[in-house]
Amino acid sequence: MNARILSSLLLSAALTVPALAQSNSSSSTPQTAPTSGAALEPLPPPARTDFWDGDDPNLVNLVTHPFANKKYVQRMTRPIKDRLDELDQLTSSNAAAIKDVDARAQHGLQMASEKESLADQHASDAANRAQQAQIAAGGADTRVSTAEQLVGNLDQYKASSQTEIRFHPGQTILSKPAKDALDQMAGPLKGEHSYVIEVRGYSTGRGQAAITASQKMADSVVRYLVLTQNIPVYRIYTLGMGSAPAADTGETGHGARVEVSLLRNDLVSSAQH
């Protein structure tokens, strides 16, 4: 019996020495919190409650705690498990923050790309409008040059044909030969441009009476051209010359008559075509 008790005591002592060394090493080494993004409090030292927690060995504890039990192991590993859970939470939080930053960065890059594309489109549209404006300006210069040329040629009228209409003294009625002569002159003018018709009336007598009579004969010719041959009235210039000398000969005394002259501007006509 005594030999059995002695063997038990020796076996317990052999198991107790490593446990005591581990307990002293655990209690002497300071515990530091893992470095992470958030400050963690250091692990509190385990409370010493019995022989296995670092109390002074004695025979009672040595006999009643011959081996480490499950509760002891759980109590010793619980702080480590808590810190591991905290590290998992920090890792998960950091991963979520990194994912959020990456999503914002991708969104910013996409917006910058869209704005760059829009700016390129606006620049292209501006270049197209500038080119169109340049083309329009070139066309305007061409039209201005053409208009200047037309204005410069407006007074370049030359006599094309001339007809003389005779009247009986004191009368303004057109005879059949007079109408035929006017038809022959005005007939080819339908649809034509760049021409004017000059109608000059001459009369016998003197003073205002001669001028009035010459004006009435000229008006008779104009009326026939407008109503019968559809000549625009703005293309006809009427002059009552009275007893003034003729423009071509400078002589007077040729009787009551009307000189009808067709004037053409070939320069303007060719420019329009």
CATH number at residue 253: 3.30.1330.60
Flag whether 88 is in a domain. no
The residue from 68, 91, 125 where one domain ends is: 68
| Residue 159, SS3 per DSSP | strand
Residue 175, in any domain of the structure: yes
Boundary residue ending a domain (35, 68, 101) = 68
Any idea what the Cα angle at residue 258 is, between residues 256 and 259, rounded to 5°?
Answer: 135
In the DSSP assignment, the letter for residue 194 is: S
Do 162 and 63 share a structural domain? no
Instruction: Write down which residue in 68, 103, 124 finishes a domain.
Output: 68
Cα gap 65→228, rounded to integer Å: 146
pLDDT of res. 259: 93
Could you state, in chain order, the average pLDDT of each consecutive group of 10 residues for the chain (273 residues)? 55 52 46 48 58 51 56 77 88 90 90 89 90 84 68 66 87 90 88 87 86 91 92 90 68 76 72 48
How much is the pLDDT for 148? 63
Give Cα 131 distance to the centre of its chain.
14
Residue 76 in domain = no
Structural domain that includes position 53:
2-68
First CA to last CA distance, the chain: 146
Domain contains 107 = no
How many domains does the chain fold into?
A: 2
Do residues 258 and 211 lie in contact, with contact meaning Cβ atoms separated by under 8 Å? no
Structure confidence at residue 139 (pLDDT): 79
* DSSP 8-state code for residue 248: T
Question: pTM of the entire structure?
Answer: 0.43
Beta bridge partners of 165: 258
Q: Would residue 40 count as lying in a domain?
A: yes
Residue 204 tokens read as 């016998």
User: Within a 10 A sphere around the Cβ of 68, how many other Cβ atoms?
Assistant: 13
